Every structure is written in structure tokens, then in C-alpha cells.
């Protein structure tokens, strides 16, 4: 079951995090049962949210591997947004 979620996160991080939220308690455990922070994470930072939840549940969030996953997720989200901005500039250039 875990491999299915990892494949889903690899294909679409938003859909993967949403599936984790609906079918497991990983998101609730990682964010202490809050609703707003995971929802904002799905909308704006899906890779960071996914890697934080997996790092928190699998290991300790304060462990070096948890922080490394969080930083990698943040860089992936920044790259995702930067790539979208670049494509938008190219598409609407006059």
C-alpha cells in the first residue's frame, strides 16, 4: 500500500497528498490534526507537504533525514513555481 502512495506522489504530489489524507492518518499525525496547514500545503507547496508527512511518520521530523526531505521538497516546489512562471512569460510574450 505504501508503494502505491509513493508512486501517486511521484506522478502528482497534490493527488498523492490528498490520497494520504483521505486513506491514512499520516497527514493528521504530521500536522497534529489541523486542517488549514495541510490544505494550504496541498495548494501551494505539495512536494514539501508530502515529504514532510512521509518524513514525520517514517522517522522523526527533527532527524537530519526529515530536514533533508523538507529542504528537497521546498526546492522542488520552488522549481515547480519558477518553471510555471517561465512558461507563462514565454507563452504571453509579445
pTM reported for the whole predicted model: 0.81
Angle at 70 between CA 67 and CA 74, to 5 degrees: 140
Angle at 69 between CA 63 and CA 73, to 5 degrees: 150
Domain count of the fold of the chain: 1
CA 63 to chain CA centroid, nearest Å:
18
Q: Which residues of 14-44 are buried (b: 16+ CB within 10 A; e: fewer)?
A: eebbbbbbeeeebbeebbeeeeeebbebbee
Span 23-82, pLDDT tens digits: 989 899 888 878 899 999 999 999 999 988 888 888 765 677 778 888 999 999 999 888
The boundaries of the domain holding residue 27 are 2-91
Amino acid at each position: 500500500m505504501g508503494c502505491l502512495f509513493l508512486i501517486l506522489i511521484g506522478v502528482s504530489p497534490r493527488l498523492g497528498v490528498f490520497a494520504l489524507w483521505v486513506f491514512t492518518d499520516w497527514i493528521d499525525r504530521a500536522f497534529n490534526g489541523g486542517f488549514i496547514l495541510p490544505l494550504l500545503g496541498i495548494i501551494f507547496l505539495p512536494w514539501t507537504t508530502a515529504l514532510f508527512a512521509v518524513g514525520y511518520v517514517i522517522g522523526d521530523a527533527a532527524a537530519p533525514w526529515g530536514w533533508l526531505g523538507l529542504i528537497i521538497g521546498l526546492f522542488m516546489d520552488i522549481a515547480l513555481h519558477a518553471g510555471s512562471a517561465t512558461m507563462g512569460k514565454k507563452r504571453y510574450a509579445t
